[in-house]
Amino acid sequence: MIRVSWFFLWGLLVGSWNAQAQPAARPRAVVGIMVDQMRMEYLSRFESKLGEHGFKRLMREGFTLRNAHYNYMPTVTGPGHASVYTGTTPAVHGIIGNEFFDKVSKKMVNCVEDPAHKPIGSEGGNGDVSPWRLLSTTITDELKLFTQKRAKVISMSIKDRGAVLPGGHMADAAYWYDSKTGRFITSTYYMNQLPTWVDQFNKQNKADAYLNQPWTTTFPPDQYVESGPDASPYERKFSGKPVSAFPYNLKEMRAKNGNFDLLVYTPFSNDYLTEFATKAITEEKLGADEITDFLCLSYSTPDILGHAVGPNAVEIEDMYIKLDKNIEQLLTTLDKTVGVGNYTVFLTADHAVADVPQYLKDQRIPAGTLNAENLKVRLADFLAAHYPGKKLIENISNEQIFLNHQAFSDEPRKAGVDLLIVKELIGQFLMDTEGVHTYFTESQLRQSDFAEGGIKGSVVRGFHHKRSGDLAVVLEPGWFASGWVQGTTHGAPWTYDTHVPILWFGKGIPSGSSVRYYAITDIAPTLSMLLGIKLPNGCSGQPIEELFQK
């Protein structure tokens, strides 16, 4: 007869429980990829032109969220990058626009502008920046805190804000493109001189080489049936080029189009950033040990070109075909250096984009433009009839109206009454203005719940009560606060600007897809659960449960 010790059985039971309870080993590296101005529909519209090892690999082997949205307005770059990495919205993290009116200095400020710092790598470059205006921690900050700063966080983009905000407050380095020199630079917030490998990379003058070659289509032009005609009246033209159509002789064009600035309108900018990213992976030894490192990568050119030509242009389709190869190159590098199955990737966008308004109008779809400066003049004239001699409007920007509080009475009670009256008058004016959908006052938004649904909820979550204006304005679908006859923009709470892809891939990620609604703020808490680290301190999103279901 075989006797089995109860201690032995208990040990087996506890061992089995521990094996199930212990979290899976963390990935050696996390790579966050932001594609500026990417619509979810591009993945299906351009599907036949994409290869098998870029976007399709992410979707085939990973998990695709097909119904992911931004849950606030304004849907623009700075707030988008901040929201993905903080897991919350402008109401909490404070980045309410790319540029916004500062109530203290009484001027427009860039969301990463910081006069306390200077550029490193280019004396006249846009390097006086830092993340100091970001009011909450990022997932990258939390990783640094969790690992006692042993994790390495490197962030890079063509745009400064696309690099600075994802890297958070504790990044080891953030780099962005300097259009004066064609090189990658940083600021004194991060370091006092560029690392040797960055210097050596810059000295290769790759931007110059890229601009000395033509941009031609990947496939014969007549095969781009997923887009509109190549020569389109809805696209802005480059200086010296009478029509916006292929091919683009960049060597001839660069002198009349800002020289190195021209690069950011071409897919070679994405090539350049990808080369820089792969160099960073190897030189910084990202993912080389058991301590998770984080690479933040933001492709800005799809947005820069998208503003100029709109989402229906052959140029945009060809850019995504070429970007697909960049994604493949990045994954191949990670496979070789970090190892297949040792890293986790997420890919998303900071916002989507609207169709060119003039194009919509020509197709008999309701659309239009509302000139902000013209609106300011008309509104001032309207208020002057009720409050003659007083300048009541201080600023109109980001679909918000800032009142000049100094213009009201010194007597608190009368000033308060006048302020309420002025807001009501402005509301009447706005609702009589073509293209305005609705408006909300600051007090209405302050009394609303953060979880409010619908359009009002989007405004609530995008409204920071210390930094935002006295009224928030929402335009009708298809309407924009500027004159876009050629090219387009974004920023609205409507689905054409909110609907973006979220692709998950790699270690800890099952294969599959979902059409369930998810907010962009769910990315950071999902990463917190995957890494077993603290949530960003202002986080309002929730982990994506479907990624954790066995």
Catalytic positions: 77
Indicate the DSSP class of residue 106: T
The answer to whether the beta carbons of residues 121 and 160 sit under 8 Å apart is no
How many helices (H) does the chain have, and how many strands (E)?
A: 20, 19
H helices present in 404-518, as ranges: 412-431, 442-446, 454-461, 495-498
> How far apart, in whole angstroms, are the C-alpha atoms of residue 531 and residue 282?
23
Contact between residue 33 and residue 487 where contact means Cβ atoms under 8 Å apart: no
Q: Residue 280 half-sphere exposure, CB side, CA atoms within 13 Å?
A: 27
> Residue 361: which H helix or E strand, with range?
helix 357-362
Query: Which residues, 6 or more positions from 337, have their beta carbon under 8 angstroms from its beta carbon?
Result: 281, 282, 286, 287, 288
Q: How far apart are CA 94 and CA 101, in angstroms?
A: 12
Helix (H, G, I), strand (E, B) or coil at 476: coil
Please list, in sequence order, all residues whose beta carbon lies within 8 angstroms of the beta carbon of residue 272, skipping any fewer than 6 positions away.
177, 206, 207, 210, 263
At residue 126, what are phi and psi to the nearest 5 degrees?
A: -85, 70
Is-contact 27 342, C-beta < 8 A?
yes
Q: Nearest-CA neighbor of 485 among 237, 227, 229, 224?
A: 237
Cα separation of the two ends of the chain: 40
Give the helix/strand (H/E) hosting 332.
helix 314-334
Backbone φ/ψ region at 454: left (φ over 0), alpha (ψ -120 to 50), beta? left
Residue among 461, 442, 446, 445 at smallest CA distance from 89: 461
Question: Could you tell me where the DSSP H helices lie in 215-313?
Answer: 250-253, 268-283, 301-309
Question: In angstroms, how far is CA 354 from the centroid of its own chain?
Answer: 15
Our measurement of the distance from residue 407's CA atom to the centroid of its chain's CA atoms, rounded to an integer in Å, reads 37
Residue 283 identity (one-letter amino acid): E
State the Cα–Cα distance between residues 138 and 169, nearest whole angstrom. Answer: 8
